[in-house]
Amino acid sequence: MLVLKQAKLERPVFRASNEIMFLSQLLLAVPLPRNSIFEHALNRFIAITHTSGLYDYWLKGSFDNLIRIGKMSYYQSVDYKSYRDLKLEDLQWFWILSINWFINL
């Protein structure tokens, strides 16, 4: 559903990260040691949350709330340049300045 809502955008403005980590709230986190007695229960809870659709519901609700309060928009500015890989032409001025520097040595 979120993919369909953002289909016309060059780059999605809302996505869920699997590697997200909030360092400011690290004191509220409890690290799970290896071979913990809670590992099985926690993994089961995560699986049930995903299979029941609760995670997708929360994600869609977060997206809709951000749209409603005006923190996110479906529209992007015209002068927005999308991400692209670095090309050799991007380093043109670097090469020119480097060659000039070596010549002036």
pLDDT tens for the 105 residues of the chain, in order:
566 666 666 666 666 666 655 566 565 567 788 888 988 998 899 899 989 999 889 888 888 888 888 877 666 555 556 566 778 888 888 888 899 888 887
Domain assignment present for residue 50? The answer is: yes
What does the alpha-carbon distance between residue 53 and residue 100 come to, in Å, rounded to a whole number?
Answer: 61
What does the alpha-carbon distance between residue 13 and residue 104 come to, in Å, rounded to a whole number?
Answer: 47
Residue whose tokens read 């996505």: 15
Domain assignment present for residue 89? The answer is: no
Domain assignment present for residue 21? The answer is: no
Domain assignment present for residue 24? The answer is: no
Q: What is the pLDDT of residue 51?
A: 94
Domain assignment present for residue 53? The answer is: yes
- For residue 57, give its domain range: 1-7+40-76
Domain assignment present for residue 14? The answer is: no
Residues above pLDDT 70, as percent of the chain: 60
Say if pTM beats, i.e. exceeds, 0.95.
no
Q: What is the pLDDT of residue 48?
A: 94
Q: Please count the structural domains in the chain.
A: 1
CB atoms within 10 A of CB 72: 14
- Residues in the chain, overall count: 105
